[in-house]
Structure 1
Amino acid sequence: MKDKYIVYFISKTKKKMTDFIERRLKEKEMGDLAPSYGNILTALYDNNGKLSMKEIGQLIGKDKSTITALVNKLSKLGYVKTEKSKEDRRVTYVKTTEKGREVEDKFNDISKEVYLTAYKNFSIEEREVLLKLLKKLNNNFDLE
């Protein structure tokens, strides 16, 4: 087995998935959204459209500066807005706007299509093994 090509195949797969998502976003007239915004929108949709920046970071595993940059872009596009907590001014909440709520069904359709495409031709057991192995691979690169 030519396992020395693992980085190549992971990179190639990520590129293909990103291209797939970008095409679907354009087809559904959401071409202003980038695939990198997906985790934030998913977290918001799964939590009644409102989370703190810290909660988003914990849910999607990104640092504060990355979350801030992505939220700022989504805010400029009109999909989310931010507001300071009335109880604790250090806390910033991110909320979906009307525009953000209007695209939720289309967004979820794309997410479902990505999921179904990714796991096409995989048995349930293979899906579980793949996820377990990807998590293991990911953990191998955790900083000590």
Structure 2
Amino acid sequence: MKQIETDNTINLMSRINERANRFILAELEKRGITDIAPSHGAVLVALFRDSELTMSEIAQRVNRDRSTVTNSVNKLIDSGYLATMKNAQDSRSTLVFLTPKGRELEPAFFQISQSLARLEYQGISAEEREIFQKVLERIYLNFS
């Protein structure tokens, strides 16, 4: 019987993701934000950068399919962080934008992102980080 070659890279990446998500949730909770999931962060950050985007634009920026983005956006609308309006330039599309409540999240998200990055790369040199990013990108592209 032929031995299957294995390593734990994918498992390790998954465990890192789980721990990062727990860290994010704990940091959000410290700030009294309990109705946002880590998966909503990418949508919010895209709108922090550009005040109005279509669903397709958000999906492209966060590298998710449109149905996933639509679910996230709908949850954020229900929580009062986002709102929509018809696109004046293209009546077939809808623009998504931050409400004042959503805009108030920006400082917390910035602080949490900074804390996460510090923790993530603690004890790792700039050169190691650059190599790591390149290797991760190649692994990602292998699945494309």
Q: TM-score over 0.5 for the alignment?
A: yes
What code does the residue aligned with 1:17 have? Answer: A
Residue number in structure 1 paired with 2:82: 80
Q: Which runs of 5+ in 2 are unaligned?
A: none
Residue number in structure 1 paired with 2:112: 110
The alpha-carbon deviation at position 54 of structure 1 amounts to 1.3
What code does the residue aligned with 2:24 have? Answer: I
Residue number in structure 2 paired with 1:30: 33
Q: Distance in 2 between the 1:134 and 1:69 partners?
A: 27
The alpha-carbon deviation at position 3 of structure 1 amounts to 6.2
Q: How many residues are treated as equivalent by the alignment?
A: 140
State whether structure 2 residue 47 is matched by structure 1 residue 44: yes
Give the number of the structure whose alpha-carbon radius of gyration is greater.
2
Residue number in structure 2 paired with 1:17: 20
**Post-superposition, which runs of at least 4 consecutive aligned residues in structure 1 deviate over 2 A?**
none
Q: Distance in 1 between the 2:77 and 2:104 partners?
A: 15
What code does the residue aligned with 2:8 have? Answer: Y
The alpha-carbon deviation at position 87 of structure 1 amounts to 2.5
Among 121, 124, 141, the residue aligned to 1:122: 124
Q: Deviations over 1:38-67 (max 9, x none)?
A: 0011111112x2211111111111111111
Residue number in structure 1 paired with 2:66: 64
Q: Distance in 1 between the 2:33 and 2:6 partners?
A: 38
TM-score of the aligned structures, taking structure 1 as reference length: 0.92
Q: Distance in 2 between the 1:31 and 1:129 partners?
A: 36
Let me know the Cα RMSD of the aligned residues: 1.3
Q: Which runs of 5+ in 1 are unaligned?
A: none
What code does the residue aligned with 1:137 have? Answer: I
Q: Distance in 1 between the 2:32 and 2:12 partners?
A: 30
